[in-house]
Structure 1
Amino acid sequence: MSKLEDILQQEVLAEIAEVTKAAETRAAEIVRAAQEQAEALKANRQKQLEAEHAAAVRRAESAGELVLNQARIQARGRVIDRVRAEATKALADLQAQANYGDVLVTLAEEALRGLGQAEALVVNPADAPKIEAWAKGKGLELRTDPGLRYGVRLVAAGGKSMVQNSLAERLERAWDSLSAKAAKAIWG
């Protein structure tokens, strides 16, 4: 019986070896498939992370550009405000110059051409002495208005209409065009 036992034992061992080999082969296939799946998941997740990173970088760059543009706009606004303040200061400085009376006369002549018949000339109280002779020469009553700056107002006969001609109003009317030209000169 020992031979039979040996044969059966060999057959059992061979069968165990065959089952073990098949199990090892199947386990290796499962491990390889799992590794492939893990690598695919890892590659997919890596692509997702790279896409998320690229999107975050684009958002950050966009936000940075927005902040930079806002800062540029604010800086340009401050510079244009400064240009306007300097222009207004230049008007105030003009008022102190010796030829300011000639400027008032020129403004009054222009207003008179626009109005036709006038009965009164209105100026700032500080400007009255500078244009008084011109008003008398034209036969106009000289009036003052502290709110009128850097110019004149002519009142028509009967007081129903008037024409105002001031450097401050001209600056105001032309400001959009002037500020655009100033911006172009400064920033190109």
Structure 2
Amino acid sequence: MSKLETILAQEVEAEIGRLKQEAEAKARALVEEAQTKAKALLEAKERQLKAQLAQGVKRAESAAELLLATARTQAKGEVLAEARRLMEERLLALPKGEAWPEVLRRLAEEAVAALPGAEKVVVNPEDLPHLEAWAREKGLGLEADAGVRLGVRVLSGRNQVENALLERLDRAWDQVSARLAKALWG
């Protein structure tokens, strides 16, 4: 082999070595770039999954809080409904008690005082005996109406005033229930 061939062979080998090194460097760079991209994608996906998990946990906590608040509200409503039922039950039992004639007379006096020129008092038929003497003394007519419960209706021409315990409870219920709720739950 001649010197020229040797030099050319060496140059070709050097070029091949350089190209091989260049190719290996490019391959390493591509592998590193692919690994970096894969790592970045993996980290991004991990962050996304963590965010989704956190959102899911937050939604579940919110749903649980809403469910709990709804259950509390429903339970409070049931307690207040039971309290009202008990109050109505006690009011309905008043006519059987000894104090009923006095309570009825006071209701009648309040209604008469609220309606100037009162002419007539209307009560439940069972309550007539309790107000006969009182109505006579006041110079008022006395009539029976089964529709009047736990109270009286006073008439003056076209005007009337009804003073009955269940209606009073109805009118006062918002305040009563608010005070009861405050006493029970603060």
TM-score (norm 1): 0.89
Counterpart position of 1:164: 162
Letter in structure 2 aligned against 1:47: R
Question: What displacement does 1:181 show?
Answer: 0.3
Q: Name the SS of the counterpart of 1:118 in structure 2.
A: coil
Provide the C-alpha distance between the structure 1 equivalents of 2:48 and 2:160, rounded to a whole number of angstroms: 74
Counterpart position of 2:41: 41
Question: What displacement does 1:111 show?
Answer: 1.4
Letter in structure 1 aligned against 2:73: I
In structure 2, list runs of 5 or more residues that go unmatched: none
Q: Name the SS of the counterpart of 1:177 in structure 2.
A: helix
Question: What displacement does 1:177 show?
Answer: 0.5
Is 1:105 the counterpart of 2:105 in the alignment?
yes
Counterpart position of 2:182: 184
Provide the C-alpha distance between the structure 1 equivalents of 2:22 and 2:160, rounded to a whole number of angstroms: 112
In structure 1, list runs of 5 or more residues that go unmatched: none
Map 1:19-168; keep pairs closer than 5 Å: 19-156=19-156, 159-168=157-166
Provide the C-alpha distance between the structure 2 equivalents of 1:142 and 1:117, rounded to a whole number of angstroms: 15
How many aligned residue pairs are there? 186
* CA deviation string 1:39-95 (max 9, x = no partner): 111112211222222222222222221222111111111111111111111101212
Percent sequence identity is: 49
* CA deviation string 1:152-184 (max 9, x = no partner): 11112xx32222111112111111100100111
Provide the C-alpha distance between the structure 2 equivalents of 1:119 and 1:25, rounded to a whole number of angstroms: 115
Q: Name the SS of the counterpart of 2:119 in structure 1.
A: strand
Question: What displacement does 1:96 show?
Answer: 1.2
Letter in structure 1 aligned against 2:167: E
TM-score (norm 2): 0.90
Question: What displacement does 1:150 show?
Answer: 0.9
Letter in structure 1 aligned against 2:172: A
* CA deviation string 1:87-146 (max 9, x = no partner): 111101212111100000011111121223332210111222222222222232221111
Cα RMSD for the two superposed structures: 1.9
Q: Name the SS of the counterpart of 1:108 in structure 2.
A: helix
Provide the C-alpha distance between the structure 2 equivalents of 1:131 and 1:58, rounded to a whole number of angstroms: 66
Letter in structure 1 aligned against 2:162: Q
Q: Name the SS of the counterpart of 2:97 in structure 1.
A: coil
Provide the C-alpha distance between the structure 1 equivalents of 2:177 and 2:120, rounded to a whole number of angstroms: 35
Provide the C-alpha distance between the structure 2 equivalents of 1:21 and 1:35, rounded to a whole number of angstroms: 20
Provide the C-alpha distance between the structure 2 equivalents of 1:168 and 1:148, rounded to a whole number of angstroms: 10
